[in-house]
Amino acid sequence: MSTLLTPMAALIEFPWLALLIGAVLIALGRRRGRRTGVVVGALWVVYGLYETGMRLRWLCTGECNIRIDLLLLYPLLLVATVAAIVSLLRGPRVAGSTG
């Protein structure tokens, strides 16, 4: 796995961190009126619930340690999170402007 994605492996051990990230993004997205932040926050919450289910062996039987799904999930979450952060850091919308 890429060195950029290695820190995300902590989410396997502590899925509540994904729920926390999701809650923060949802709160910031709602406060700033940015749908991107809310949607990406919701993705994090869904991932946190998914990872909790994997950790508790509700969503897998047998060998749960081989996680090919993370090769897709981690990059998607990372790109989506960067998009949300950019959206949240943008200046306020100006009424009547296009773009």
The pLDDT of residue 54 is 87
Tens digit of pLDDT for each residue in 26-71?
A: 999 999 999 999 999 999 999 999 999 988 888 887 777 777 888 8
Q: How far apart are CA 41 and CA 25, in angstroms?
A: 5
pLDDT level of residue 99 (50, 70, 90 thresholds): very low
The pLDDT of residue 3 is 63
Query: Tokens 């990406």 correspond to what residue?
Result: 40
96 — alpha (psi -120 to 50), left (phi > 0) or beta? left
Question: What residue spans define the domains of the chain?
Answer: 12-88
